[in-house]
Structure 1
Amino acid sequence: MSVTPRTHVRTTALVLPAVLAAALGACSSFDQGTRGIADALTLYRPEVVQGNFVSKEQVAALQPGMTRLQVRDILGTPLVTSVFHQNRWDYIFTMKRQGVEPQRYRLTAYFEGDTLARFDGDDMPSEAEFVQRISRERKVKVPPLQATEDQLAKFPVTPGAEPASSDKGAAPSGAQPALSYPPLEPAR
C-alpha cells in the first residue's frame, strides 16, 4: 500500500501540533521540577561594594574650615559632583551581599567657597566593622601585640647585635654596598 502525499500532509498537520504541545509541556514541567533544586542549590553571587567607602574614622577627621584639597585627601574624590551644586560633594557607597539586605551609606560635604562649611550623612561603619562585613572567613580576634618585661627577658639581646630592620634585605647601618657582584651563571 502506498502513501499519497495528501495523506502524509494531513498526518503531519495532525501530529505536529501534538508533538509541539507535548514538548512545551515537558519544558514547563521540567522547569517546575528543577526550581526546587535551584532553590536548594544557590548559585554563587559575588559581593558587590560600589562607590567610595567612607569610614567612621575618616568622618571624625573632618573639621569645618578645611579646604577642598584637605577634604579630598581625607575622603578621596567624591562619587557625585554636580554642575548645578558646585558647593556640594556626595560620597555614596553600597554593599550587596547574598542573603543580606543591601546596605547604603551617604555622606554629603557642603562648601562655602573653598572651605568646608558642614557635612552630614549616615552613621558610617568603622574600618574594622567594614572588613568584618565583607569577610567570608570566620571572625578572628587578634590579641594585642604587647609583651611584659618578664616575657622580653626570656629573649636576651646579644652584645653588638643591631635591632632587626623592618626593611628586609637592607644593609646594616654603616655597611658599604658591594662594589662587584658574583656572576649570575657559573664560569665554564
Structure 2
Amino acid sequence: MRLARTEHTERPWRIHEIAPEFDVEDVWALPTPGGPDDFHRLLQQFTQGNGWPQNAPLPVRFVWEARWKIGRVLGLDVEGSKVGARVASLRDRLPDDMAEAPRGPDMQGVPFRSIYVLPDEWASEMANRTVHTVMHVGWVEDGEGGYRGQMTALVKPNGPLGAAYMQLIKPFRYALVYPALMRMIGRGWEAGRETSLTDA
C-alpha cells in the first residue's frame, strides 16, 4: 500500500541527516507482518534475491529490459555515472556515531549498493546519468500490535535530464513495477514464514 510522504519524513530515521537534499519520491507499506525482531529476515529477503525481476510478470520484465537497453544506447549507466564516480557514496557522510555501523549486504541482481544497516533501518544507493537514488527500508509498528516493513524511494535528479526521466518512468512504476514488486515481496515473506514454521 502506498503511504503519505510523512510516514517517512516524520519518523526519526538516520537517513534524514545523511541525505537531506534528496526528495521523497514514494513510500510503501510492505506486506511483511511480523514481530519486533523480524527486521533481519526482511533484510535477508531483500539482499539474497527474491526473484526480481526474473519472476515478475511479463509486462514488468519487458519494461525492465527495455529500460536497460535504452540506458545502454543513451549511455545512462556508464561507469563514470555511478556512485564513486559522478557522485560520492552517501557512506562518506555518515556521522561520527555511525562511523562503525556495518555497511550491510548488497542486493543481488540490481545495481544498488548498501550504505549502512541498523537494527531497524537499512539504506542502499545507486546512481547513473539521470539520478542518485536511495532505497530506504525500515521496520515499523503497524498500529495493531505488530510490525511491518516500510520502503521509501529517495531521489536526487541530475538536472533537467533527471527530472524529465523521473516524470517519464512514473506511470510505469505505479501501474506495473510497484504492484508486481509488492506481490513478490509478500509471497517471499509468506514463504519464508512457512519455512521457519516447518524448520521449528
TM category, shorter? under 0.3
TM-score w.r.t. structure 2 length? 0.22
TM-score w.r.t. structure 1 length? 0.23
> More relative contact order in 1 or in 2 (CA 8 Å, sep 6+)?
2
